[in-house]
Amino acid sequence: MYHHGFKVTDTMQQSEMFALLERKIEEMLEEVELLRMEVAELRDAKAALETDKADSVRRLQGLLERFESAAQEQQSAA
């Protein structure tokens, strides 16, 4: 059976192929959205880690200053 120069089976195969392609595109779009959400979560985690690192460095610098101060006091007293 022909319809506008194409066999009906060709049209059905094309419809099935387009349906499959549409499903694959929808799956890929969902995957992209999931990856975007994961990237956002990773950025938030990175920001939190950078904040923690800055706090740790600040606290360590404070401790080192105390040790240096105590060492200088001991040298002065000696």
Q: Which tens digit of pLDDT belongs to each residue from 24-40?
A: 999 999 999 999 999 99
- pTM (predicted TM-score): 0.62
Alpha carbon dihedral 13, 15, 17, 19, in 10-degree steps, equals -150
- Number of domains making up the chain: 1
User: CA–CA separation, 63 vs 2, rounded Å?
Assistant: 86
pLDDT band at 42 (very low <50, low <70, confident <90, very high): very high
Q: Which residues of 19-28 are buried (b: 16+ CB within 10 A; e: fewer)?
A: eeeeeeeeee
- In the structure, what pLDDT confidence band is assigned to residue 3 with cuts at 50, 70 and 90? low
**The domain containing residue 9 runs over which residues?**
2-77
The CA-atom distances, in angstroms, between 78 and each of 16, 66, 69 are: 91, 18, 14
